[in-house]
Structures are given as structure tokens and as C-alpha cells.
Amino acid sequence: MGFEQFGIVSFTSATKAEQFVEFLKSNELRGTVCLDCGAKFFPPRTDCCYCLSDRMDWFTISGEGRLVSFTTAMFAPAGFEKDVPYTLGVAEFADGTKVFGRVDRSIPQEQIKVGMAMKTRAVDLGEGRLTYELVAA
């Protein structure tokens, strides 16, 4: 099993970054950092577009981020219809890393604000599927 385990609906089965899913299993959201030039990437990538290196290590997204923007979708593409409404957002962390994902649906709509403190959490979707979400810090 590999990357097809990631997400509510998966469109990609194979990636060299599939270890990402293994980290989610231990509730860690990880990006990659280039061992040659130090560039950090989230989502993770296995090739550095700054120095062309393929020597990468993993780093953990930790601490509190701030919600940069969000939207609540009332309509959804195929495969997500049962989820609506759901909120998508981007949070920025202290080191400048931004994370895009779903926002915890237990947060009442009116409490979701740009600038609110967020952290990430791995989510077990059942049947071997995993994702992550942004939750209130």
C-alpha cells in the first residue's frame, strides 16, 4: 500500500514521497527539506527545484499557524458530494510553511476567522485511508 491511501478521494497512486502517508499514521505532518541547499517544501517533494538536488530529508510541521484564508464549499466535485458543506483553508506556520487542507468540521462556522490559531492533525478516514486537517490550536 502506498500513496493511494492519502485523501478522501485519491487521484495519484505512486509517488516517491509516499512515506508521507507513513508519517500520517503516527500523527505527523511532514514536508521535505533539501539536504544540499536547505530549501523547505510543503507539500513534500523529492526533487529540489532550487539546486536540482535529490537529497531530501523530512521535517515535521509543528507549532501553531494562522489561518490565511478559507471557504466553505456548498457544492462538491464527484466523490465528495456527501461531505458538503465543508471548509477548505490555508494556514501559515512560523517558518513560512503554508498548509492547504480541510478545516475541522466541529468548529462552528461563525468561529472560523482569518488569523485564528491553527495546528494540524492526522485523520484516520477508515478502510486504511488517511488525511490531515487544520484544527483550532
**Which 8-state DSSP code applies to residue 5?**
G
Q: Minimum Å distance from CB 59 to other proteins? A: 15
Q: Which stretch binds other proteins (CB under 8 A): 9-17, 22-30, 50-58, 116-124?
A: 9-17
Task: Among 33, 39, 68, 107, indicate the residue that binds other proteins (CB under 8 A).
Answer: 68
Print the binding letters for residues 117-136 with other proteins: x by CB under 8 A, - otherwise.
Answer: --------------x-----
Is-contact 17 54, C-beta < 8 A? no
**Smallest Cα–Cα separation from 115: which of 85, 84, 136?**
136
Cell 493511494 -> residue: 4
Q: Which is nearer to other proteins, 27 or 69 (CB)?
A: 69
Cα separation, 100 vs 62, in Å, equals 15
- Sheet containing 30-34: give its strands across: 40-41, 30-34, 56-60
Q: Minimum Å distance from CB 12 to other proteins? A: 4
**Smallest Cα–Cα separation from 55: which of 76, 32, 71?**
32
Q: Which is nearer to other proteins, 11 or 126 (CB)?
A: 11
**Binding stretches for other proteins (CB under 8 A):** 3, 6-12, 15, 42-43, 68-80, 83, 86, 88-90, 97-102, 114-115, 131
